[in-house]
Structure 1
């Protein structure tokens, strides 16, 4: 198990999330000599007052609202980054990722291969996929438009919908992932290429909107936990032990290591159009990579692991083990 999944599973277990996955659904008829496996049914998330201060794993700006997802099926909505309201969700599995095609249409996903969909900006959610029996959490989502999205995750999991989530079909990744390595992140680059980063230095790129994939040579053989678009056709990848690599042309296979100033693993990040990237990770470490190449390393006040981040005015909204944190910046990001 790589560090990202290890941390997520350890944090989730400590807070009881794993009790909400397939394990809780065992039939109580333990006295029977040969009990039949019980059908696993999703349980709705509980509305809890301290959810904004609890484990959250991803955060996005839809253009109309801020959405954060995390522990025990939590989905939170905010209009200002300060006040957060938890909405009703039909599943209690930990949600690791959220993505929107436009301000109204989006998906959230996570453990038990649960995938949820909203058509009203995150106010209400419908469960579209739930497969606890495969034991493969979804770790990253990419919404290509309101009809098509891709979900990737543990042990080579890749799911695709072309009908707004009415059906989710598994995509065969053997062409670039024979060993079924974890697919930790998927992103669309600014030239339209799709890029996957994963376990053991796995890199793959699609130049035809996901119809086919080509494995790329990697400058690092440890796990990558995220990928962000960079410039017109480049990418920035990040992962274990503060390893960050940058390419101005992701197809070229030429990568330059970014001296992040830390050995903390980087778990999440966000592109800042025209102004570089911001990364977050273990022990509350924050790394900003400016468009001119200048790197600044910061520390969140809480000092707890961070897994998602969003530049928002003159602050960073970061999520992780301590919930939503608003972290002042030395300079505003665009």
Structure 2
């Protein structure tokens, strides 16, 4: 069994970063170093047990369910029960997936690998692969079929505005001088973009990502996710069960929720007008009602969960160390 910190370390903290190009060190006798050897991407292997193996991100495209995870695995499902692994041109662990619509989406992860689909996830093409950076992508936001933003470890911030034909590095030093891990990015209801990351980092953009402003944070620990809330607010969550809400993210006034758990929350889903569901360490499921009441549940397997999406009335699909797990949340709106 993998250790409980597998998801936090590999997917969200960037600890288990795939190394890139290497060079032989000088052996001390003055001899020159050997030239660096470029690392080439290898296609993912089709593994029959992928639906029950480590998965780190899941997305409901409105037409299909797409899950991503270890060793480049991408799985597709029409019903949440039967999953098919598709061919992927990279074997790097994929940590996150985002779709702009039912057809156009991206998945990304270690080696700064980014793959793209324009047919709903049936086929994928490699658009970015930079193992030499040693910076995994940890968050994706697909604004439309042409515009996508990727965040990652050590201040990694990439953007495409041409459907992924080119990915450009964006300087994060305007709000992240220490090159902290940028764990998550999301769009709020008013169109603002919010990044949440390591050491309480929060940054907001009011112009679609062209410029960013660092925000005051209510917490010095790491955040792992952002969910939209109301007309211009947000919910942020992270280490040790910490969850904060604001009705106006720009104003920077946050209220801590009484969660009654120290389990770190790694993934979440908002249900507009109804509440939020967060998932995390040890299979803990946090159900937050529209009145901010918190109910704690636990998945049957009790293993770490990394992401979750709504799928039907009070039914959610979570992914994590044990693969895909359906979750029934009957008390969501109470």
- Normalising by structure 1, report the TM-score: 0.92
Q: Which residue of 2 aligns with 1:106?
A: 105
Structure 1: tracts of 5 or more residues without a match = none
TM-aligned CA deviation for residue 329 of structure 1? 2.1
Q: Which residue of 1 aligns with 2:319?
A: 319
For the residues of structure 2 that align with 1:195 and 1:206, how far apart are their CA atoms? Answer: 7
Runs of 4+ in structure 1 over 4 Å off: 3-6, 9-13, 25-28
Describe the shift of the 1:67–1:129 C-alpha distance in structure 2 as closer, same or farther (beyond 3 A). Answer: same
Quick one: structure 1 residues 5 and 158, their matched pair in 2 at CA, closer, same or farther if it must change by over 3 Å? farther
Structure-2 residue corresponding to 1:218: 217
Contact 1:235/1:248 (<8 A) preserved: yes
Which of 9, 18, 42 is 1:7 aligned to? 9
In structure 2, C-alpha distance between the alignment counterparts of 1:244 and 1:12, rounded to whole Å: 22
**CA contact 1:12–1:71 (8 Å) conserved in 2:** no
Task: For residues 122-159 of structure 1, give each alpha carbon's deviation from its aligned partner in whole angstroms, at most 9, with x where no partner exists.
Answer: 00000000000000000000001101110000000000
1:168-179 correspondence to structure 2 within 5 Å:
168-179=167-178
1:187–1:194 CA contact under 8 A, matched in 2 = yes
Q: Relative to 1, partners in 2 of residues 1:301 and 1:6: Cα closer, same or farther, differing over 3 Å? A: closer
Deviations 1:183-229 (A, max 9, x none): 00000000000000000000011111111111110010000010110
In 1, Cα distance between equivalents of 2:221 and 2:214:
16
Q: How far apart are the structure 2 equivalents of 1:12 and 1:170?
A: 18
RMSD (Å), alpha carbons? 2.4
- Equivalent residue of 1:183, what SS? coil
Contact kept in structure 2, 1:310 and 1:317, CA below 8 Å:
yes
Pairs within 5 Å for 1:246-325: 246-313=245-312, 314-325=314-325
Matched, 1:56 2:36: no
**Partner residue, 2:329:** 329
Q: Contact conserved, 1:4 with 1:267, CA < 8 A, in 2? A: no
SS in 1 for 2:269: strand
Distance 1:33 1:237 in 2: 50
1:187, 1:71 → 2: CA distance?
23
Q: Partners in 1 of 2:317 and 2:13 — Cα distance? A: 20
Superposed, 1:140-151 pairs within 5 Å as: 140-151=139-150
* Alpha-carbon distance, 1:27 to partner: 9.6
Query: TM-score, normalization: structure 2?
Result: 0.92
Q: Determine which structure has the larger helix proportion and give its number.
A: 1
Q: What SS does the aligned partner of 1:133 have?
A: helix
**Residue 5 of structure 1: CA displacement?**
7.0
